Structure 1
Amino acid sequence: MSNKNVLVINSGSSSLKFAVIDSESGEALVSGLGECFGLPEATIEWKFNGEKSKEAITAPDNHHQEAINRIVKLMDELSLKETIVAVGHRIVHGGEKFTSTVRIDDAVLTEIENLSDLAPLHNPAGAKGIRAAMTAYPSLPQFAVFDTAFHQTMPQKAFTGAISHELYKEYGIRRYGFHGTSHYYVSREAAKMLDKPIEESNFITVHLGNGASVCAISNGESVDTSMGFTPLAGLMMGTRSGDLDPGIIEFLMKKGWTPEQVFETLNKKSGFLGVSGVTSDARGILEAMDDGHEGAKLAFEVFTYRVAKYIGSYMIPLSSLDAIIFTGGIGENALDIRSEILTNLGLLGFVEDRAGNEAARFGAAGQIAESKLLGAKVLVVPTNEEFVIAKQSVELL
């Protein structure tokens, strides 16, 4: 067993994902999830050697700390403790301060908490996870890997909003982008598949899951991305609206809606769920379509159309295109959604390889289409954000 294992922690406001990752192979030796934090039904479950286990979390006050205490105990039980060399934390927002993975000290932790205005649901939870892990593993080095870091190479024309520049200077309002770890990982894997140096590779990466974003990558660097100041911008998602006329917010507030109602709707009641009226899950949308549900069919059409529009527009910042890359839960598995997006890209010469598209699912990478017109391929590359966190943590050691 490798002695370069990293405990990877992704701490949310009411949940905590964890895994022990071999930083050389990317293999997850154990993975798990604590959820329903703050509620009586809080639990933690994990998978090891194909077997699943689940326990209640009963600590009344601090479920994050209790979950991490249980993880520490679990590492002992599974004889993994001595193999762990670092703890890597996924942090959603690094603002303009963090452009790469950093070793966590008191100053870094304070800065992560100071950035909570930009990610009020995520950064305080990430800081909680860090504090709990530092208490549990005081002698292990801890690292923060930021969702926003990969996009810090965007040029000013791409990240600047067309609003008063004072709002940027005073509040940091600009495009930050998210899913950076995923876009980074799949672009590197695609370059290997094409046997091309990443520094000479141009891609459009398409991360489609409950959250979704597109990224234009020029010579290995992010030059534009669809999520913005928050993860609400860009593509239509499971429950998020994506791009929206901001005048709608004023309109609804004049109708008596509170700001809380507006943003609850835009974040949690829109997207697949809002348009279909059925579900936020892409699998449920496809099943309802098969049953003739008109709302599900419309949600499918709006989603695939918007993804294709973004892909088309993201050719603008690139000098050439080597490949479009699909990843994320939907991007890796939803055959019909990928197929419809490719149909919408027909003007650009993309022709689907149906057999290739059917084969590249459920963890399998592969080529699913090609455009002779552009000399570009369409690839499916399963993402592995935990591997990036583990690898970058060990590299900094």
Structure 2
Amino acid sequence: MRVLLHAGPAACRPLLDALRENPEHAAGVTFTGLFLPGLDDTDLAALTPTTRVETVFASPAVRESFAAGRHAFLPIHYSAVPEWLASRPADLAILHLPPAERGAFSCGLAADIADGVQRFAKRVAVLVDPAIPRTFGATALRVDDAELIAETDAPLPPYVPPRQDPVTTALGRRVASLIDDGDVLQIGLGKLPSAVLRELGDRRNLRLHTGMIVEEIAHLVEAGALAAPFLPDKPSVLTGIAVGGEKLHALLHDPAFAFHGVAVTHDARRIARLPRFTAINTAIEVDLFGNVNCETVNGRQVSGIGGAADFCRAARLSEGGRAIVALPAQAKSVSRIVPKLSTGTTSLGRADIDILITEHGTARLRHLSLDARAEAIMALAAPEHREMLAEAWRAVRASL
């Protein structure tokens, strides 16, 4: 049996608790869904020897099952998720949604798979939770189309904001310095989006078209930085999921925030029509060619390809658009600027990004030659690693 689960901010903790307490109910089940690193820490494939998971991420939390082959990782772009799910519909989807209104369920905190769920599953069960805000945008399904509706009143998990540090703060300021009034932004996952958003309170007429929003979007609302919506087709914020606490949830009752599935949020052709679309993402490491690794550490899978490539390519096609990647120059004294990425770890190709940022500076790569690009990237490394990188580049360059 295949079961599609609502995940991320829409994960139903009582359901997961019940599975952990009664793992025999998961025997022979293959769970699918968009289980996000840092948010979804339950190793479902470890519940029983015959339980399996298929998804597009492989986080450290599922290391044991991934190594054993029970957690199947699909290395695909996020934009390919709807096609993948529709190609083999689950026997049952379980959604975690707010109470229905006017005979239909909104997508709640996560439209990623809820929007279009009837293409992705043969039957749909809904766990109704009044703690989840009703949101605008796509409709998940009509009440009459649900196979089962049950109620849960467990409180949503408390939001724990990402811990900031001086390097992340510096990166946030460097990225924010490139954002102009009227830009359309995409933000990724992790500490960087929070740091960037905190620096944008003095901008005006900003919009977001993104896969996710975080708590710090409330700062932009309070500061008057967001553009007014032109409903129904031009909300202030178009997103797939919302990760935050009560402060963010209180904003989501406003139609200025529109939730849509992956087929909309990650559609590069649609996004490319937005002028001045600016994609902001982070990375694990970058090499001197400009190739980007977003998913492995020391050769071990810790995430997935995600949506960065979809957004970066859309930004390259957008009139006035930019694809920005920002990362700390080093981690625990190990350089995150490397001569060459290891085989199989390229998440973004060297032609996919325009601007690379570390705490040491900003490099505009779009029209640089091979050698000029390498020099610009080396200048972003921590000073103590630059000589090593220069020597390695000379050897790499001689082999080309």
TM-score under structure 1 normalisation? Answer: 0.26
Answer 1 or 2: which has greater helix percent. 1
State the TM-score, normalizing by the size of structure 2: 0.26
